[in-house]
Amino acid sequence: MYNCSILHPSAMIRKSVLTDNNICYEAEFSPAEDYRLWTRLIGKTKFANIPEVLQKYHEYVGNTSKTQSQKMRESTLKIHKLLIQEHTQRKINNACKKSQIAYIQAS
Q: What is the DSSP string of 45-73?
A: B-----SS--------TT-HHHHTHHHHH
Residue 16, exposed/middle/buried by CB under 10 A (0-12, 13-18, 19+)?
exposed
Q: Does pTM top 0.85 for this prediction? A: no
Within 10 A of 29 (CB to CB), how many other CB atoms are there?
A: 20
The per-residue pLDDT for range 12-53, each reduced to its tens digit, is 899 999 999 999 999 999 999 999 999 999 889 998 888 888
Distances (CA, A) of 71 to 29, 44, 66: 9, 28, 10
- 3-state class of 12 per DSSP? coil
Phi, psi for 104 (deg, rounded to 5): -65, -45
CA angle, residues 90, 96, 102, in degrees to nearest 5: 135
pLDDT tens digits, residue range 88-102? Answer: 877 777 667 666 665
Q: How far apart are CA 36 and CA 56, in angstroms?
A: 23
